[in-house]
Amino acid sequence: MLSDEQKAGYHRDGYIVLPGFKSAEDIAAVRERALQIVDAFDPGQGSSIFTTQNQTTATDAYFLGSDNTIRCFFEEEAFDAQGRLKQDKSLSINKIGHALHDLDPVFERFSRDAKLAAVARDLGLAEALIWQSMYIFKQPGIGGEVRWHQDATFFETTPISVTTFWFALEDATIDNGCLWVEPGGHLGPLRERFVRNGDAISMEKLDSTPWPDDSVAVPLEAKAGSLVCFHGLLPHYSAPNRSPVSRHAYTLHATDGRTVYSPRNWIQRDPALPVRGFD
Ligand code: FE2
């Protein structure tokens, strides 16, 4: 699937952009399904606002219980001072996670095919295992920022193997909050680890290497249909979306089954929902 030049680029930079990986029909199918899921979502069930800056919120049972289910999470800025939604529910959801790829037939079709399996193998995942899927809305006006981090923080394996598959479902631009990366930054250390102990979670500092200065970050503007793959150690962030245009994306996180998946990772699969690969 990937040329030697593309593989070399991935090893050098820590990421690769594959334009035109998904068709307009593929994208339309998951976008429609995501809206149906949000439409059926009753916020009264209890919900969680997703923010990487407030780990207290993230500790709630709603978040931790989403590893084997499909749940909706609100944008942090979705509510006014009285706790009412500032805009329609469909424009207030930050993301849907985290087992769409295993539990929803539309997302399952999008997440598994021979082409994706070949890319994963070419990137070094000999026995890929997909632990997580997220539909990210990056809503117009209120789409929250995600500060510098490494995805390996959330998926510890020995040795590190987690690889991110990021699909642009709309054109991602600097204005609407595209990804920014530090090219080559995957050659540095893992800085922190997100650890689950029962119902408690914590962030452990592993290395004092500072996050990159924003001035070295490179924007990954990507047309709808593009697949961006990046290494679990690659520092990346996305800015808030203050534009009037949403920036929908879908992500998968896969590790290599030849490595040891930490029992302290927050996502642990129930026996009834065994982790599977791209085939
Ligand atoms: Fe990330």
Taking the centre of ligand 1 as the mean of its atom positions, its distance from the CA of residue 151, in whole angstroms, is 5
pLDDT at 44: 66
Q: What mean pLDDT is reported for the chain?
A: 93
Render 139-200 in DSSP notation, one character per residue.
-TTTBPPEEEE-GGGTS-EES---EEEEEESS-B-TTTT-EEE-TTGGGS---EEEEEETTE
Q: What confidence tens digit (pLDDT) does each residue in 105-121 have?
A: 999 999 999 999 999 99
Each domain of the chain, given as residue ranges in start order, spans 4-261
pLDDT at 19: 98
Report the CATH architecture of 4-261: Sandwich (2.60)
Taking the centre of ligand 1 as the mean of its atom positions, its distance from the CA of residue 193, in whole angstroms, is 13
The more confidently predicted of residues 229 and 76 is: 229
- Is pLDDT above 60 for 52? no
Taking the centre of ligand 1 as the mean of its atom positions, its distance from the CA of residue 229, in whole angstroms, is 11
Taking the centre of ligand 1 as the mean of its atom positions, its distance from the CA of residue 15, in whole angstroms, is 12
pLDDT at 59: 44
Q: Is 243 left (phi over 0), alpha (psi -120 to 50) or beta?
A: beta
Taking the centre of ligand 1 as the mean of its atom positions, its distance from the CA of residue 181, in whole angstroms, is 10
pLDDT at 240: 92
Taking the centre of ligand 1 as the mean of its atom positions, its distance from the CA of residue 204, in whole angstroms, is 17
pLDDT at 92: 92
Taking the centre of ligand 1 as the mean of its atom positions, its distance from the CA of residue 45, in whole angstroms, is 27
pLDDT at 40: 94
Taking the centre of ligand 1 as the mean of its atom positions, its distance from the CA of residue 208, in whole angstroms, is 19
* Reported confidence tier of residue 58, pLDDT bands at 50, 70, 90: very low
Taking the centre of ligand 1 as the mean of its atom positions, its distance from the CA of residue 163, in whole angstroms, is 10
pTM: 0.94
Taking the centre of ligand 1 as the mean of its atom positions, its distance from the CA of residue 82, in whole angstroms, is 31
| Cα–Cα dist 8/249, whole Å | 26
Q: What confidence tens digit (pLDDT) does each residue in 188-232 have?
A: 999 999 999 988 889 999 999 999 999 999 999 999 999 999 999
Taking the centre of ligand 1 as the mean of its atom positions, its distance from the CA of residue 3, in whole angstroms, is 25
pLDDT at 49: 56
The more confidently predicted of residues 44 and 114 is: 114
* Reported confidence tier of residue 265, pLDDT bands at 50, 70, 90: very high
User: Which residues have C-beta within 8 Å of that of residue 253, sequence separation ≥ 6?
Assistant: 130, 131, 132, 151, 154, 155, 162, 163, 164, 165
User: Which residues have C-beta within 8 Å of that of residue 82, sequence separation ≥ 6?
Assistant: none
Taking the centre of ligand 1 as the mean of its atom positions, its distance from the CA of residue 40, in whole angstroms, is 27
| Cα–Cα dist 234/106, whole Å | 29
CB 265 within 8 A of CB 196: yes
Taking the centre of ligand 1 as the mean of its atom positions, its distance from the CA of residue 240, in whole angstroms, is 14
pLDDT at 54: 52
Dmax (CA) for the chain in angstroms is: 56
